[in-house]
Structure 1
Amino acid sequence: MLEAHNLYSFYGKSPILQDLNVKVNQGSFTCVMGRNGVGKTTLLRTIMGLTDTTSGSMRFEGKDLSSLPTHKRATLGIGYIPQGREVIPRFTVRENIIMGTYARTDGKRTLPHHILELFPILKEFMNRRGGDLSGGQQQQLAIARALAMDPKILLLDEPTEGIQPNIVKDIEDVLVRLNREFGITIVLVDHNVKYARKVADQFIVLDKGRISVQGGPEDLTSDVVDKYLTF
């Protein structure tokens, strides 16, 4: 579904990602892991076309992404939930979600019903401004907004960071449902080794902009955790 070969990505003249080869299968759940500053966020931003320059090849469902601007990548079905959530604080919950529909190619601008079933708290706060929600509620809103575009794949950058534990569990459960029940491919940047071992089909460990380890959950051993993931 998503493939990168010999991928380099730059901010200015500095290479952040170096010679990455990544393959994400349709319907899979991939966890991208590593210590802070190793290139995890840059990988997701590169897929979305948000870094300065790239080299190598990157394809989504066989389509070359290299010349496509970010909004065109979104219309292909690539949903992105960045760190910091980036909800629009003065827009209501409803307006924030409807914004996601503008990446749809079928012209629908209605609020998808299944989103409210996944995030019932948002149904209660539909007319509340996004800036008045708690951090966890804003994260749920950011995911709901991405789902409104009817994505084929979701890229999530540490969606549970700094969020109260009960909402962390809710978000983790929703991601599993989106993958298992709705068939949405998930690429998740996360530090939770236990969760990765439980839900991921594959994991990618980055170190200094390169892939150090890649494999299935059985390959996420204690030695790998100690060498690349322990702070």
Structure 2
Amino acid sequence: GASGSVHLVVRREDRENNSNCIDGADGTAVAARSKKKYALKKVIPNTELEASMLKVEIEVMAASRHPNIVRCFATFRHEGAFWISMEHMSGGCLTDVLDFLQKKKLCLTEPHIALILRECLKGLQHMHLHRRLHRDIKSDNVLLCGASGRIKLADFGFVAQLTEERKKRNTIVGTPYWMAPELIRGCEYDHKVDVWSLGILAIECADWEPPHINEAPMQAMMLITTRPPPKPR
């Protein structure tokens, strides 16, 4: 497994019927306990490409020891699925906070937004210094610790490793509404795509949702590449 020596035993019924289960785009996370509470992420890759991307995610999380990046402790495979034990973030994701505020017709204040962005920037700075790109910055991947209030980046399924020989990439990945224009166009890109996505996250924090969210993904991508950078409403 990945670095770490945590041994977890989770009963099948706990994995399948856990009330603290969260379904994500690439897997399911549940809360698990040994002597300490962990998040246990289950992912079933459908292709070799997905398995390869998952291995990258595991390696990045295991290697990224930073206060603003969710820690990965151990991994194992069972019945075709990858199980990844991660730091448990009891406050959930930022998306849940924004959804709650939207229902109450409340908004985050500028100091709150500044705090969120500052903490995300710390995590991104660490990744960029190690020549890694996140490429999927959005509220779903910003997690909160309820006890300490710590804000951390998670979900590195789209992470890219930059080498000295290849300081730019040209693969198209990410979530459309947060994607930078050069990512959509398939042009070469670097760490600036994460900065763009962080800017979209700032707008999401102010407006509850990112620009063009009511458009179909393909339409949104066309608007992102043909219009000036968006501003908060």
Normalised by the length of structure 1, the TM-score is: 0.28
Normalised by the length of structure 2, the TM-score is: 0.28
The answer to which structure, 1 or 2, has the higher relative contact order (CA under 8 A, 6+ apart) is 1
